[in-house]
Amino acid sequence: MELTLGFSPCPNDTFIFDAMVNKKIDTKGLTFKTQLEDVETLNKLAMQGKLAVTKLSFGVYAKVKDQYELLNSGSALGRGCGPLLIAREHIPEEKIKDCKIAIPGENTTANLLFSLAYPAAKNKEILVFSDIENAVLDGRVDAGVIIHENRFTYQLKGLVKIIDLGEYWENTTGSPIPLGGIFIRKDIPDHIKQEVDQLIHDSLQYSYQHYPALSSYVTEHAQEMDEKVMRQHIDLYVNDFSLGLGEAGKAAVDRLMSVNK
């Protein structure tokens, strides 16, 4: 059986799915037609029900919960891993509401967290996440919400952090930050859902067994080609919650859902 599978080209996702999509492990007769896109594109595809299995922002969960259910494995969730609001120079908090802010997508968890921290800030421009740093540098926007590997590169470009939005969430709620998860369409048979969930877990375990070596699948898709940054990215976004959400992870997701109605 072939299933469509969407995830991002970022190192954390390719690290998780490498063994599974490249048949380095036994996939129990399942094959996967992959579609690698930025997370907001994946969010939009899921809102149309286009992909059987896909990475999604938890920020879009409420809009797709009638079509998709969350799997236990593969999530990006933890502490100290949230999006950052950056600018060319420090901006006083009271002036953020008047600024033009670049966000990596309307349905992203990053936008949800920014909106919780700055509910009065409405002047937003949606950009692909990898374009936000340059938009800030060029002055097209006053500030930007960055995710993924840009957490490790913005300072090298002379940009400054205004606020760690993940830290804001943790301090406000005491909860880990649920960034994104792996979802499967509800019309997929239950035994296939269980097999896919287990395969994601096994695929990640395979990658961990060979880490810190990086496969060509990870390196060829990375936006940032510095291997040190790739490992920083994996270390930040892949953890025990990625192997299995558990009760603590599910509680964190429920907490986020409670503020995103």
Q: List pLDDT tens digits, range 28-60.
A: 999 999 999 999 999 999 999 999 999 999 989
* CATH 3.40.190.10 domain residues, the chain: 2-77+177-258, 84-173
pLDDT in tens, 168-195: 999 999 999 999 999 999 999 999 999 9
Which of 148, 191, 201, 233 does the annotation list as catalytic? 148
Name the CATH topology of 2-77+177-258: D-Maltodextrin-Binding Protein; domain 2 (3.40.190)
Residue 111, C-beta contacts closer than 8 angstroms, at least 6 positions apart? 59, 103, 104, 105, 124, 145
pLDDT tens track for 207-236: 999 999 999 999 999 866 689 889 998 999
- Residue 148 annotated among the catalytic residues of the structure: yes
Nearest to 67 by CA among 83, 82, 84, 53: 53
Burial class, 221, CB count within 10 angstroms (exposed 0-12 / middle 13-18 / buried 19+): middle
**In whole numbers, what is the pLDDT of the chain averaged over residues?**
94
pLDDT at 56: 96
Summarize the annotated binding site as residue ranges.
Answer: 55-57, 109-110
Q: Which fold has domain 84-173?
A: D-Maltodextrin-Binding Protein; domain 2 (3.40.190)
76, 139, 171 from 241: Cα distances, Å: 7, 37, 20
Token pair of 251 as six digits: 């509680």
Binding site for substrate, residues?
A: 55-57, 109-110
